[in-house]
Amino acid sequence: MSHDRSLEGAEFLTQQTKGLYEPAGSKSLAESAERSTRHNQEIVAGIPHWQAWREAAHRIKAYSIANLDKLLVEFERNIAARGATVLYARDAEEANRLVIGIAREHGVRSVVKSKSMVSEEMELNHKLEAAGIRPIETDLGEYLVQLAGQRPVHIVTPALHLSAEDVGKLFAEKLGEPFTAEHRALTDAARRHLREEYLNAGMGMSGVNFGIADTGTLCIVENEGNAGLSTATPPVHVALMGIEKVIPSIRDLPQLLNVLARSGTGQKLTTYTHLIHGATPGKKLYVIVLDNGRSNVLEDRAARMALYCIRCGACLNACPVYRRVGGWAYGWVYPGPIGSVLTPHLVGLDKAGTLPFASSLCGACGEVCPVKIDIPHQLVHLRHRAVNEASPMRSLRQRMTWQAWSLAMGGPVRYRMTMALVRLGVRLLKYVPWHPLEIGAWTRGRELPEVPERPPFRTWWRAHGAGLKPSSPTRSTPITRDEQS
């Protein structure tokens, strides 16, 4: 799989040292992400059973992934019985061939697309254009980044980095619209331009939020109506579905929809929730089931949970690193915490091995994830793999440093000797104008801790520990939790 094109603007993925992930995100992205998180926190604080909801959603996903092959077969059987053609693609290249094949078979000249992250993995738009077929993104945010020739910065709000002025200039330049920075006017302009596209397109494409195995149903959620129009208007509908999107039963849907909408956009339900029952009479429905590296996640048992993701974007909004470095810094389709735990599996640790290190392990992501993916634990797991397998983070220097550290910490005598050297080193650094490597990375923005005049704690303890006499005994009964609140 060649992903070199995808890694544009992501030189950090091959860098190892200084300059890694410098803040470069846009202010509006940071502010919007923070506002979304705070808003979600307020909503969640008002729901007494939110944790139970998360647990229920988590279990549905756990069961789905644990039975993935059986559910895919069931899904395929039931939706094929409803007139759909189900095709499987091992990788992006195969999926692109299938899509173009379908388009050619039906004489399609333009394609209206609603949001599909899978299509971003495929770089489908480029491939369609190269094949002489015009792709039109209809989700407003995707439409904006398509016009701007940029990649999305966020999986739910792709153009979060663009201000209204930016959009106005874009429309003036690319659509010949008179300049305005007024949100209503800009949205109306987009609506006008896209209307014609829906009506003329020979094919509509969508992603799939949930593929329901026991009924053979596609569930797609959206707010703009563009997925409804993209899938209903043209005579051919091609749905792109990652293998992990299949769920066991229609009965599981309300629980998943419930947490998805709230975590994604702070809504109780998105404006449109579509349950598409196979091929509508008179139309063709193709469902392309794509692997593209997801089997790698399955094969790494400790990492499997990452496939539970329902693409809500809450982890992005909550991540203090994402807010500051922005969506492109992650180098590929999925930014933020979920990107850091998925991309290494999908494109390979050899290319994306630095991503799991783009985190302070604060855990805000795991806290907000509606399906309880333990993202922080996924991150340390991938770090362990990255330093041991072929990746930009595997480093002989680092290994030797940590082995030396491990030796130094292996016993109290070695520890004391090492620490004496460290204290001496920190004292001497005051006199050195330039600090190398990691020391320099610290001191470029912070004071080093002061080396205290007094001796280490151990030394104090040796002198005074034996003399510490406990005063009166403590209360014998710890107070109960009720008493404490």
Partner 1 sequence: MIQLRRNSPPEWDYPRYQPGETVALFIPCYIDQFYPEIGEATARLLTRLGVPVAFPEGQTCCGQPAFNSGYWEEARRVVRRFCQAFEPYRWIVSPSGSCTAMCRVFFEQVDPDPRIVGVGRRVFELTEFLVEALGLTDVGAYFPHKATLHVGCHTRRELGVVDAPLKMLRSVRGIEYCELPNMDECCGFGGTFSVKMPGTSLAMGRTKAENIVRSGAEVVVSPDISCLMHVHGIMRRDPAMKHVRAMHIAEVLNQQPSGEPA
Partner 2 sequence: MSSRDAILSRIRAALAADPPLAPPPVPEVWPRENPSTEPKLERFIAELEAVAGEGHVCASIEAARQKLNELLDQLGPGTIGAIDHPLTRDLAAELPPDRVDWGSTEVDRHAMGRWPASIVPADCLLADTGTVMVVCATTHERLMCYLPPACIAIAKTGRLFEHMPAAWDEIAPRAAEADRRGEFVFITGPSRTADIEKILILGVHGPKRLIVLLVD
- Return the residues of window 251-270 that contact partner 2 according to CB under 8 A: 251-255, 257-258, 265, 267-270
**In this structure, what token pair is assigned to residue 144?**
């904006």
Site for partner 2 in 163-222 (CB under 8 A): 163-164, 167, 183-184, 186-187, 190-191, 194-195, 198-199, 214-215, 217
Backbone φ and ψ of 176, nearest 5°? 70, 20
Nearest distance in Å: CB 181, partner 1: 28
Nearest distance in Å: CB 446, partner 1: 3
Nearest distance in Å: CB 89, partner 2: 6
Site for partner 2 in 291-320 (CB under 8 A): 291, 295, 298-299, 301
Say which entry of partner 2, partner 1, none residue 193 contacts (CB below 5 to 8 A, set by partner kind). none
Site for partner 2 in 345-374 (CB under 8 A): none
Nearest to 307 by CA among 72, 94, 93: 72
Query: What b/e readout covers 328-352, taking b as 16+ CB neighbours within 10 angstroms?
Result: bbbbbbbbbbbbbbbbbbbbbbebb
Residue closer to partner 1 (CB basis): 151 or 383: 383
**CA dihedral (388, 393, 396, 401) positive or negative:** negative
Amino acid identity at 132: G
Say which entry of partner 1, partner 2, none residue 425 contacts (CB below 5 to 8 A, set by partner kind). none
Place of tokens 């209206």: 112
**How do 284-290 and 236-242 pair as beta strands?**
parallel
Nearest distance in Å: CB 112, partner 2: 10
Give the integer Cα–Cα distance in Å for 338 and 430: 41
CA of residue 3 relative to chain centroid, distance = 18
Residue closer to partner 2 (CB basis): 74 or 391: 74
Residue closer to partner 1 (CB basis): 21 or 332: 21
Question: Residues 102, 189, 203, 229: which binds partner 2 (CB under 8 A)?
Answer: 229
Other C-beta atoms lying within 10 Å of the C-beta of residue 359: 24
Site for partner 2 in 57-86 (CB under 8 A): 59-60, 62-63, 66-69, 72-73, 81-83
Question: Residues 35, 384, 399, 458: which binds partner 2 (CB under 8 A)?
Answer: 35
If one asks whether residue 125 binds partner 2 (CB under 8 A), the answer comes out as no
Q: How many residues bind partner 2 (CB under 8 A)?
A: 93
Give the integer Cα–Cα distance in Å for 111 and 129: 10
Say which entry of partner 1, partner 2, none residue 275 contacts (CB below 5 to 8 A, set by partner kind). partner 2
Say which entry of partner 2, partner 1, none residue 393 contacts (CB below 5 to 8 A, set by partner kind). partner 1
Nearest distance in Å: CB 140, partner 2: 4
- H helices of 233-319, in order, are 253-265, 294-299, 314-318
Give, as one character, the DSSP assignment of residue 451: P
Distances 251 to 30, 43, 369 between C-alpha atoms, Å = 37, 25, 22
Residue closer to partner 2 (CB basis): 199 or 400: 199
Nearest distance in Å: CB 138, partner 2: 7
Give the integer Cα–Cα distance in Å for 386 and 357: 9
Question: Residues 250, 429, 439, 448: which binds partner 2 (CB under 8 A)?
Answer: 250
If one asks whether residue 391 binds partner 2 (CB under 8 A), the answer comes out as no
| Cβ pair 316, 322 in contact under 8 A | yes
Residue closer to partner 2 (CB basis): 60 or 352: 60
Say which entry of partner 1, partner 2, none residue 455 contacts (CB below 5 to 8 A, set by partner kind). partner 1
Site for partner 2 in 128-167 (CB under 8 A): 138-141, 144, 157-160, 162-164, 167
Give Rg (Cα) of the chain.
27
| Part in contact with partner 2 (CB under 8 A); list of ranges 7-15, 88-96, 380-388, 466-474 | 88-96
CA of residue 393 relative to chain centroid, distance = 21
Nearest distance in Å: CB 180, partner 2: 12
Give, as one character, the DSSP assignment of residue 330: G
The 284-290 sheet, strands edge to edge: 84-89, 284-290, 236-242, 203-206, 110-113, 134-137
Nearest distance in Å: CB 257, partner 2: 7
Give the integer Cα–Cα distance in Å for 16 and 26: 24
Backbone φ and ψ of 246, nearest 5°? -80, 140
86 three-class SS: strand
Element housing 464 (H / E): helix 457-464
Say which entry of partner 1, partner 2, none residue 180 contacts (CB below 5 to 8 A, set by partner kind). none
